[in-house]
Structure 1
Amino acid sequence: MSESVRAMRRETTANLESAVHSNRALSRAGLLERLFTLAFSGLVYPQIWEDPIVDMAALEIGPDDHIVAIASGSCNVLSYLTANPASISAVDLNAAHVALGRLKLCAAQHLPDHAAFFAFFGRAASRANVAAYDQDIQPHLDSLSRAYWNARGVSGRRRIDGFSGNFYRRGLLGRFIGAGHLLARLYGCDPRAMLQADSLTAQRSLYDRHLAPVLDKGFVRWLIRQPASLYGLGIPPAQYSALSNDLPGGIAAVLRQRLERLACGFDIKTNYFAWQAFGRRYDQAPDASLPPYLQRDNFAAIRDRSDRVTYRQQSMTAFLETKPARSLDCYVLLDAQDWMTDAQLTALWTEITRTAKPGARVIFRTAADERCLPGRVPAPILNAWTYDEERSRSLGARDRSSIYGAFHLYTLATVA
């Protein structure tokens, strides 16, 4: 591993420690936080789990808008380009996510056509992708991202080789989903059967046969009561605690509710999140449901506008501290606030309010069905914003990923 890759990993760890660690190292809570940091220090999300269609409906992106967004797997960032914003600043604590986003941008700019781009990120399972990387992408990639994707593991293979054998099985989330499939098969169930459904009625029947029974098993119920078991979903200890209190039945009831909605709440032919969860891939049919950035009709726009996106490895708060007052229009926080202390939330919203133009929009999700800001962010800051509860509920109901408790939309109501 090169020194530049080691430095990227050290910076990721330092960023996570600052964001997640709030308890003594030798306490139980502190130990769980440090285990989470270790698990989260590499690639976590090969695909993001927030629905960009919902995001764009909430943000109402205009041609003069400057968006700042947490990147994660960057399906959101590239998809926002279809709405034609002026610019997007993507930030993430994790160097692997920044490298993935820059890889996607460079591929959109330099692969020959949509077919090659889709083969790389839609199928993500061919040796031809590695050859395309070497020939068309690598010469144009920034040095840090190139070092990341060329780094070799203990097997001697480069990270980029993951795109030759289903990249979506990689990362912490990919391995978590794979472990869930293995566990289901051990109990005689098969999540892949969900993909055979041709109606919502069939989806319900297959859910009752292949998914619901697994959650009733004693070992599974014990397993999901252990906070570390859900690190693969990117759920830190503080977020796990909020989830556990969201329904009377605790964490088991919450997971059952979210899994049932993913399996039965939307037509599976229109839900690429369900395909990733139950098939560990995207549908390959001509009319398949796909993230906007992978759709053929959007490829020209993604390519033409890709130079409007920049990536930074840092926290949202640190990035905003570098921006002028009243300079930003849209903020995409994903579920990052679930991780934060009151002091961190206050620092973040201080900078959001300072940098927001009149009418600016902020969107985020929470693991639990709750508003996480009132009583934690000082009233003089929060009172500058209008919370649209009715629209937030309506948009949250449309989020096909189905894994969050609530979606939230705030609009700047006054000039702070």
Structure 2
Amino acid sequence: MTEFVPDAGFRKNEKLKSALLQHSALSAKGLSERLFGILFSGLVYPQIWEDPDVDMQAMALAPGHRIVTIGSGGCNMLAYLSRAPESIDVVDLNPHHIALNRMKLAAFRHLPDHMAVVRLLGSDNARTNATMFDRYIAPNLDSSTHRYWNQRSPLGRRRITVFNGNFYRTGLLGRFIAAGHALARLHGVKLEDITRCRSMEEQRHFFDTRIAPIFERPLVRWLTNRKSSLFGLGIPPQQYDELASVSETGTIAPVLKERLEKLACHFSIKDNYFAWQAFARRYPKAHEGALPDYLRAEYYSTIRAHTDNVTVHHASYTELLSTKPASSVDRFILLDAQDWMTDEQLNDLWTEITRTADQGARVIFRTAAEKSVIEGRISDAISDQWTYLKERSEHLNTLDRSAIYGGFHIYEKKS
């Protein structure tokens, strides 16, 4: 289960196809699903876009907990290690994310110090990163991950050399953000200028006067009315429909405007590294703002000491849980994966979650729309074993600095 083919495309990735495809290839929906699948089969998320600080508050994460999470960009898994859990099983259907998670773990294990980790994972234009990889990390990687990062492009550049520049400008999400910047520039707005704001009042003024009017432009409305325009955010066709259902107009532009307003205005720029990635396409420098917690010096030793507690699997969530004993997991993190699922897939997943959940276990997940995606869709026999922590969920949703989701949800296993 843990082996992966580093460059398996969508056509050969049966795990991803099984999770995504719900309609005939000859239907409009089926074509849309397959286009998304082709795009999603490459690197999608160089950085995760769920706030790990909110996750850890929601889970009341503590030493000794046994965790199963989706990998994505790997930032969440590393953040959870700062709480010294007993174990973390990371699953992902995308082999690029598997290679990234394994490399990030090896960086914490084998780079010589905290500053070297920050240089590799938190800096841009650090020209020695590939050399550092060769010296400290590469000799300690499994063969598949080693082959992935050393593979050469048609121009002869090794994949790892992307860390010599700005890794966070790569991947499907990085290219989508670049396209957003280009679109803003076309309308006379430099999005990175918001990072120069000295107060939240200035951030509000910048958003209201510079960013918000862009959403009224005909080209932006035309683009956002097409499902494929949001594939770069990692939003599949099913999730687009959920987002559109939030809007009174049934279109996506008002929803995107509202989420971007939260990102730009609800948190101080200096404290929100998600805003830096969206508006400046990099992490802040030390004098500009805070890095993600997993890159902060005070957590480095704890994270490094617990990296051997993580196992990364190329598998679906349900597939992994089916191999685990009953009552063997304390915390489940599903990101927004359930937005993709059919009722049958949801019930299969929650059957395994319920079987493997220990007393007091918690499940957290996010949704494109505000409502919980499992309500009314999983069987009563399963749902009756869980309590929805609605007020706590709603409160923590307001604190999520990534700002791109409509709902954040916490369920707790009944005693």
* Matching residue of 2:306: 305
1:154 Cα deviation (Å)? 2.0
Residue of structure 2 in register with 1:77 after alignment: 77
In structure 2, what is the equivalent of residue 202 of structure 1? Answer: 202
Alpha-carbon contact 1:239-1:367 (below 8 Å) kept: yes
Q: 1:385 to 1:12 in 2, by over 3 A?
A: farther
Q: In angstroms, what is the RMSD of aligned CA positions?
A: 1.3
Residues 6 and 96, structure 2, Cα contact 8 Å, conserved in 1: no
Q: For residue 211 of structure 1, give the secondary structure of its aligned residue in structure 2.
A: helix
AA at the equivalent of 1:83: R
- Residue identity in the other structure for 2:120: F
Residue type of the alignment partner of 1:65 = H
- Per-residue CA deviations over 1:297-330 (Å, capped at 9, x if unaligned) read 1111111111111100110000000000111000
Other structure's SS at 2:149 match: helix
Give the aligned partner of residue 193 of structure 2: 193
Question: How far apart, CA to CA, are the structure 2 residues paired with 1:79 and 1:40?
Answer: 24
Aligned equivalent of 1:23:
23
Structure 2 partner of 1:323: 324
Q: Aligned-pair distance for 1:262?
A: 0.5
CA gap 1:297/1:6 in 2 versus in 1, 3 angstroms: closer
Distance in 2, Cα, partners of 1:407 & 1:10: 29
SS of residue in 2 equivalent to 1:45: coil
Question: Secondary structure at 1:245's aligned position in 2?
Answer: helix
Cα pair 1:353 1:381 within 8 Å, conserved: yes
| Residue 35 (str. 1) matches residue 38 (str. 2) | no
Code of the residue aligned with 2:357 in structure 1: it is A
2:167 is equivalent to residue 167 of structure 1: yes
Name the SS for the 2:232 alignment partner: helix
The aligned length equals: 411
Contact 2:7–2:96 (Cα < 8 Å) also in 1: no
Instruction: State how far apart, in whole Å, the 1-side matches of 2:8 and 2:312 are.
Output: 14
Opposite residue 404 of structure 1, the aligned amino acid is Y
**Corresponding residue SS for 2:311:** strand
Structure 1: segments with no counterpart, 5+ residues? none
8 A Cα contact 1:324 1:355, kept in partner: yes
Question: 2 CA distance for matches of 1:230 and 1:189?
Answer: 21
Aligned partner of residue 189 in structure 1, secondary structure: coil
Cα distance in 1 for residues equivalent to 2:254 and 2:407 = 16
Q: Give aligned-pair identity as a percent.
A: 52
- Is this contact kept in 2: 1:193–1:210, CA < 8 A? no
Rounded Cα–Cα distance in structure 2 between residues aligned with 1:127 and 1:290: 20
Letter of the structure 2 residue corresponding to residue 236 of structure 1 = P
Deviations 1:322-377 (A, max 9, x none): 00011100000000000000000000000000000010000000000111112210
Q: CA 1:11–1:292 in structure 2 vs 1: closer, same or farther (change >3 Å)?
A: farther
Name the counterpart of 1:235. 235
Find the residue that maps to 2:246 and give its secondary structure.
Answer: coil
Residue 133 (structure 2) pairs with residue 133 (structure 1): yes
Deviations 1:199-252 (A, max 9, x none): 111001111233112211101110011100000111000000010011203311
User: Match for 2:191: what amino acid?
Assistant: P
Note the alpha carbon deviations across 1:3-60, whole angstroms, 9 max, x for none: x856644697322211110001010000000000000001000000000000000111
* Amino acid corresponding to residue 374 of structure 2 in structure 1: L
| Contact 1:365 1:406 survives alignment (8 Å) | yes
CA contact (8 A) 1:125 1:167 kept: no
What SS does the corresponding residue of 2:252 show, helix, strand or coil? Answer: helix
Aligned position for 1:256: 257
CA distance in 1, matches of 2:411, 2:202: 38
TM-score (structure 1 length as normaliser): 0.97
Distance 1:121 1:14, change over 3 A: same
1:394 paired with 2:395, answer yes
CA contact (8 A) 2:7 2:148 kept: no
Q: Please state if 1:152 is matched with 2:185.
A: no
Q: Does 1:281 align with 2:285?
A: no
Shift of 1:116: 0.8
In structure 2, what is the Cα distance between the partners aligned to 1:6 and 1:330?
A: 29
C-alpha separation in 1, matches of 2:253 and 2:8: 36
Greater shift in the superposed pair: 369-378 or 345-354 = 369-378
> Could you tell me how far apart the structure 1 residues matched to 2:399 and 2:222 are?
31
Q: State the alpha-carbon separation in 2 of the partners of residues 50 and 56 from structure 1.
A: 11
Superposed, which structure 2 residues align to 1:397-416 within 5 Å? 397-414=398-415
Does the 8 Å contact 1:326/1:356 carry over to 2? yes
CA shift, 1:125, in A, is 2.6
Matched residue, 1:95: 95
Q: Which residue in the other structure is 1:290 paired with?
A: 291
Q: CA deviation at 1:288?
A: 2.6
Contact 1:333 1:362 in 2 (8 A): yes
Distance 1:101 1:225 in 2: 34
**SS class of match (1:223):** helix
1:285 Cα deviation from its structure 2 partner: 1.8
Flag the 1:97–1:21 CA change in 2: closer, same or farther, 3 A.
Answer: same
Aligned partner of residue 359 in structure 2, secondary structure = strand
Deviation at 1:127, TM superposition (A): 2.0
Letter in 2 for 1:324: P
What is the rounded CA distance, in whole Å, between the counterparts of 1:5 and 1:340 in structure 2?
A: 24
**1:363 matched residue in structure 2:** 364
Residue type of the partner of 1:164? N
Which shifted more, 279-288 or 90-99? Answer: 279-288
Alpha-carbon distance in structure 1 between the residues aligned to 2:375 and 2:392:
18
